[in-house]
Amino acid sequence: MARLDGKVAIITGSAQGMGAAHAELFVKEGAKVVITDLNEEKGQALAEKLGENALFVKQNVTSEEDWKNVIEETEKTFGPVDVLVNNAGITMSKSIEETTLDDYNKIVQINQVSVFLGMRAVMPSMRKAGSGSIVNISSMNGLVGGAIGYTDTKFAVRGMTKAAAMEFSPQGVRVNSVHPGVIETPMIMQEDVKEQVEAFAKTIPMKRIAKVEEVSNLVLFLASDDSSYSTGSEFVIDGGLTAQ
């Protein structure tokens, strides 16, 4: 039996990249998946590719109204939500002195506030479903230092995950965070940075960067009933980088 048979999932920021890989695997494993993103063209194309068990809904993850709409569209099309993957996020690599307040507020809104809004919005639907799993995508920089703004918000996701896990557990909803290291996406394998990435890979204990599907398999585990006794935990997938 497929691992997500009968489950309804929302994956934010899933028109492309890692989110799209998660969506494809979820559908393959029997889930009905709502793909949300601001990129309407790519999101709609992915939903059409995945077929009748996928739906695209345009969403700004920092908007309360958009969250309300996503939940309503999901329930109307597929039923109550069983799984939420808070995947949407942006990176920023400026120094503290170069970072404007607008820069900082933007990354906080997208990486941090959106996770709060998503968890809050989905709970009534998960209550209807009788249980649920929320997977918050953080980063290895939610465990160790990195760029200002990005590191702060990814640490915040880790903390919010624990707070929500404590609150939601009695209602049958689990909340966990995923902390990827360097992942082989088209963006980081471009010719102008490929050489740097390959050099960095030699410093990783496992001597390679992760494949996208390796992260998707971990997200699938947390979304499924296979992880039924895991909540409030960090799941690190970084090839040993933070173990050094």
How does DSSP classify residue 105? H
Spatial neighbors of 152 by CB under 8 A, at least 6 apart, are 108, 112
Spatial neighbors of 52 by CB under 8 A, at least 6 apart, are none
pTM, entire model: 0.96
Find, among 36, 234, 211, the residue nearest to 138 by Cα.
234
Is residue 104 part of the annotated active site? The answer reads: no
Sort strands 234-237 and 173-180 into parallel, antiparallel or unpaired. Answer: parallel
Average of per-residue pLDDT values in the chain: 95
pLDDT digits (tens, 9 = 90+) for 61-100: 999 999 999 999 999 999 999 999 999 999 988 999 999 9
- In order of start, what are the domains of the chain with their CATH numbers? 8-235 (3.40.50.720)
The whole-angstrom separation of Cα 231 and Cα 27 is 24
pLDDT of residue 136: 98
pLDDT of residue 196: 82
pLDDT > 70: percent of the chain: 97
pLDDT digits (tens, 9 = 90+) for 209-220: 999 999 999 999
Q: Which helix (H) or strand (E) holds 47?
A: helix 40-50
Q: Is the pLDDT of residue 149 over 90?
A: yes
Q: Which of 150, 155, 168, 221 is catalytic?
A: 150
